[in-house]
Structure 1
Amino acid sequence: MSNNNTNHSLGNVHGSVDPESKTGWKKIMAFLGPAYLVSVGYMDPGNWATDLAGGSAFGYKLIWVLFASNLIALLLQSLAARLGIVRGLDLAQASKNAYPRFVNFWLYILAQIAIIACDLAEIIGMAIGLKLLFHLPLIWGVSLTITDTVLMLWLMNKGMRKLEGFIISMIFIIGISFLVEMFIVGPDIVDVAKGFIPSNLFGQDKVSQQMLYIAIGIIGATVMPHNLYLHSSLVQTRKITRTEEGFKSAIKFNLFDTVIALNLAFFVNAAILILAATAFFKNGYFQVAEIQDAYKLLEHIFGKIAPVLFAVALIASGQSSTITGTLAGQIIMEGHINLRIEPWLRRLLTRVLAIVPAVFTIIYFGEDALGSLIILSQVVLSLQLGFAVIPLIHFTSDKKRMGNFAISLKVKILAWASAILIVGLNAKLVYDQIGDWLSGNKNADIYIYVFVVPIVIAIALLLLYVFLRPMLFKHADKPAYVPHGIAGAITELDAVTYKHLAITIDFSKNDNDCLRHAIMQGGKQATYTLIHVVETAGARYYGGQVLDNETQSDADNLDKYVQAMKKLGYKAEAEIGYGSPATAIADIVNKNGVDFIVMGSHGHKALKDLIFGTTVNSVRHMVNVPVLIVKPQ
């Protein structure tokens, strides 16, 4: 077993919830949370599309497929939680240790494409929800979804429990909405119960083939790959005792969390399918695959309350799934390729990449084509499933690293059977989709054979490699990755003398603290350069040529500071910069040979940093000398 926690997954919230300090039901409640964040991935608009199609076309006959998918999801999510608890690694980090860098790069690319595909379905779902509630054109709704970046940033800054609370409230809204829907439509309980009996999906008639296709879509949309990455990381937000007893306790309580949360997700998906079966199938509407159609028919059959609840639940589903998709993106990026960027920037990039195809589809193919785009996003998602499921089973089966917590033979058989089913059915889904493309547009055959087919073959070979490598090189994986190197021996520490220090001045009460900290570093032997940057429009355009009132005033005030320091016996000089603060400060520092900088922190947080910028961080990346940051008192 690996006890290395140097490279924590979601490091800013790692071990931030402490269940060990609690007892009884409070301890259980402290463990609850991670699986709820995971469960929203099982309730996104992509699931809605497949559930609506299945219920409207075949009534209650596919409820057993939903139930089987939920059992598979329970098994795989419990394995993901076990990996995170015992090894202290998420699925992406474990993959980085087990596979070569080149393979990890492509695993990351495929996982990122899957997240963008998920985000695409969530964008469309939220846009449809906004249109249904507020009559906004879909292209406006799609464009507005980019604003959730600010909400994401705010929630991340509030801590893991606040984030979990928001997600659980969204799930509550979805659950209540569909509970009320069930009372409105009044399904036949006996017929619903019969839907849990498996029906023949493999007949040769056209109905059976269509039922199989929709069943594959339901399974592919339910067992999402990024949820496995997410769960293996989120369980590490709970502080546990890293002993055999501590592991057993954490695995047990996380299993409770997983069973409760995913059964709630099953209830929501089953409710959508039952709603479609009761409202549409029984009333003769057999081809309701579009979310917009479902809304219109609900209003036509049951009045205005049902469709409003439907739209509210759709928006809540899209928003909560978006946030968990962002967390999964952070885990995958850090784990596979050890790249860390700001969460808001990652969220923005993913959202922009997902918005582009949605806007393109609306402009060139019309709003009615968005339903097909959701199905396409699920096809793309299906391609990535095997790359998450197969390594997960390998890692949790490894007795050398999992010790006594390696999965048993029975669980291993069930897990591999699930993997074969998922990969096989999703492979058929991709095969059928390519066949539809070829038969639907003969002029596109050459492009499909030249571009699509080779990509599919390459992905299949990569999947085969991912499956075979852990068996062929069973103990050849690298030790747990340490991103910052190994600590070296400390022998002797000599004092550092700074000869030329720079102090940034903004004529606030923080200036005095900055000057005081600077002279503590350099004493009376050093030279001090006081820097102030003029940020007026004139300064940005004309630089040192500007002679406006603010520039003159700032120069005079800076000179007063210099004269005051000279009277106290310090060597001081003034430098005025113009335009961008970070660039101007860095230019002055580099030009004057400064070897230490003292800067005052402006104290901005979250939204203000987005508006005003983060000068301190920018300067740090533009100079090669130490920077001391003095926070305002």
Structure 2
Amino acid sequence: MSTKTLAPPASARLLPLLGPAIVAGVAYLDPGNVASNMTAGAEYGYLLVWVVVAGNVMAWLIQYLSAKLGIVTGASLPENLGGSMKSRPTRIAYWVQAELVAMATDIAEILGGAIALNLLFGLPLVVGGVITGAVSLLLLLVQNRRGARSFERIVAGLVLVIVVGFCAGIIIGPPDPAQAIAGLVPRFEDSGSVLLAASILGATVMPHAIYAHSALTRDRFAGVEPASRVPVLLRATRMDVTIALAVAGGVNVVILLVAAASLQGVPGTDTLEGAYAAIAAGLGPAVATLFAVGLLASGLASSSVGAYAGSEIMHGLLRVRVPLLARRAVTLIPALIILVIGVEPTLALLLSQVVLSFGIPFALIPLIALTARRGVVGDYANRWWTTAAAVVAAVLLVTLNLTLIWLVVTGA
């Protein structure tokens, strides 16, 4: 009898290499996404399903390019940018805009966690914000002391909670299949729908996720010999990004479908608290509680990833490392100020997407340029069609984000 051992299939050999995209993909499941998609479904029904799908298709390419840059160069996008900028004032100016974007991201995530804790336990929003920030710091300490794999496992567990929390409503209140399919046809209804579409895209393709993914793959695959392992890592990364964004995209579509099926026309659903009350009234308190738990997991996971991205931005551009506790305290302050002065939290979430819109070109355009240059990534430079697709995505995203800014400023 032959004792020859069969080699595991190629896909099985890639499984241990998965994980960084799951962490980066949390950015696509943050409270800003929840607020945008919930509002879109409640106000316009199935109209903007196509925006969520299109955003995730573009996000796949963008996140893959970011991950590739980290793998091939062994450096994050901020490090690559910092190394190419010889003038310190230029690096500082670039860091200022990136830091403002990171703070805007943190505001959305801290507010989401605070709202969830208020809905679940009646905690004051300020207290909930402090707790969310503290827990995100603990998650970052795990990443620092236990390594990337432990951090990935914790975040993956939180993603599972998010999936269950946000998808439970679709079982109780299923959407109309025909209308959901019709929502895949690109169209707008009025300026409000354009504003929400731009907000959805602003919450989908986020600058800090672009910065973070390159750092996550750098940390996970540090010291890899390019000649031997990079092709395998890139195949694993394509699988990783596909899984992560299939999950994130699916959850975002479900949030919109639940709102379209069960909350359309219900007053008060333009806030997360109102959406929670409407879900409790229409789908039952159990579904509403799961929604709040999902929102809490979203705030905790995305806040830790956002803080990780902010730390990497500072290190890469300024070559400075700030202790995590100090950095967490500083970035927590703007969110707590918003909560203390009584700004409506969901409005603050949506407006934070406007600030994020400013940062998209500064992260996306350099990423495309760097991954297209042989002088940076050698034989792994983008094929012309990859660069062309990325440029088209960049033009669309920048145009829609500028539209978002214009609509908000003019009040159109």
Instruction: State the TM-score, normalizing by the size of structure 1.
Output: 0.61
Instruction: Give the distance between the partners of 2:275 and 2:167, measured in 1 at CA.
Output: 17
* Residues 366-405 of structure 1 aligned to structure 2 (within 5 Å): 369-405=344-380
Amino acid at match of 1:263: A
Deviation readout 1:66-97 (Å, 9 max, x if unpaired): 01000110011111111111112211011112
Mapped to 2, the partners of 1:357 and 1:58 lie a distance apart of 28
Q: Does the CA-based 8 Å contact 2:165-2:292 persist in structure 1? A: no
| 2:3 counterpart residue number | none
| Structure showing the higher strand proportion among its residues | 1
Runs of at least 5 residues in structure 2 that lack an aligned partner in the other structure = 1-7
Among candidates 104, 108, 111, match of residue 124 of structure 1: 111
Other-structure match for 1:187: 175
Deviation at 1:348, TM superposition (A): 2.2
Instruction: Measure the CA separation in 1 of the matches of 2:302 and 2:49.
Output: 23
Q: Distance in 1 between matches of 2:141 and 2:60?
A: 31
Structure 2 residue matching 1:171: 3-state secondary structure = helix
Moved over 4 A (4+): 22-26
Instruction: Indicate which of 123, 129, 132 corresponds to 1:136.
Output: 123
Cα distance per residue 1:336-361 (max 9 Å; x no partner):
0000122222222212233223322x
The one of 333, 338, 341 equivalent to 1:357 is: 338
Q: In the TM superposition, what is the alpha-carbon distance from 1:147 to its structure 2 partner?
A: 2.5
Check whether the contact 1:149–1:348 (CA below 8 A) recurs between aligned residues: no
CA distance in 2, matches of 1:166, 1:113: 27
- Number of the residue aligned with 1:251: 234
Residue deviations 1:34-56, cap 9 Å, x none? 00111111111111111011101
Question: Greater RCO between the two (CA within 8 Å, min separation 6)?
Answer: 2
Aligned counterpart, 1:43: 29
Counterpart Cα distance in 2 of 1:23 and 1:243: 23
Q: Distance in 1 between matches of 2:185 and 2:295?
A: 29
Query: Number of residue pairs matched?
Result: 402
Whether the 8 Å contact between 2:118 and 2:125 is mirrored in structure 1 is yes
CA distance, structure 2, for counterparts of residue 160 and residue 108 of structure 1: 25
CA deviation map 1:336-390 (0-9, x unaligned): 0000122222222212233223322x1xx5xxx2221111111111111110001
Q: TM-score, normalised by structure 2?
A: 0.93
- The equivalent residue for 2:253 is 270
Alpha-carbon offset, residue 398 of structure 1: 0.7
Quote the offset at 1:149 in angstroms: 5.3
In the alignment, residue 300 of structure 1 is paired with which amino acid?
A: A
Secondary structure in 2 matching 1:254: helix
Kept after mapping to 2: 8 A contact 1:240/1:250: no
* Gap runs ≥5 in structure 1: 1-21, 202-206, 440-633
Tell me which amino acid in the other structure corresponds to 1:253: A
Contact 1:118/1:381 (CA < 8 Å) preserved in 2?
A: yes
Q: Percent identity?
A: 33
Alpha-carbon offset, residue 227 of structure 1: 0.6
* Counterpart-to-counterpart distance in 2, 1:374 and 1:243: 41
CA RMSD in angstroms comes to 1.9
In structure 1, give the amino acid aligned to 2:193: M
Distance in 2 (CA, whole Å) between partners of 1:299 and 1:150 is 32
CA distance 1:191–1:240, shift in 2 (3 Å): farther
In structure 2, the CA distance between the partners of 1:391 and 1:184, relative to structure 1 (3 Å rule), is same
What are the residue-to-residue correspondences of 1:7-26 with 2, within 5 Å? 24=10
Q: 1:77 aligns with which of 63, 66, 82?
A: 63
Asked if 1:173 corresponds to 2:161, the answer is yes
**C-alpha separation in 2, matches of 1:331 and 1:372:** 28
Residues 559-578 of structure 1 aligned to structure 2 (within 5 Å): none
Secondary structure of the equivalent of 1:288?
Answer: coil
- From 28, 49, 52, the counterpart of 1:63: 49
